[in-house]
Structure 1
């Protein structure tokens, strides 16, 4: 079997947890239009990483073929 290429854009956006069972992503809405958002929202709610939803996980794993399974 030939090697499978990793989607480099996905490799920059997602991290696989140490166990390899879950995929982490960054939360949206912290790039621009930040003036009207509260400091608490930016610091507490938008800064943290979160899990990719189960329904999207299969597609992300196809983009990252060499992530731990």
Structure 2
């Protein structure tokens, strides 16, 4: 019994009209709303939003080698 050999061409599937093209947003998708108990959304990054971290005074200290006595 002979079996059908593939022709080397990809199979064509009918396009689904309800699917959006890749990379396009879904217009019918609602934005997510936070549920009770969820964390609030994070603001965009800004140095003004960052907490003040105290500087370590030892970080600025420069250690010089002791001079050699002749």
**Where is the strand percentage greater, Structure 1 or Structure 2?**
1
Structure-2-length-normalised TM-score: 0.18
**Where is the helix percentage greater, Structure 1 or Structure 2?**
1
Higher relative contact order (CA 8 A, sep 6+): 1
Max radius of gyration: which structure? 2
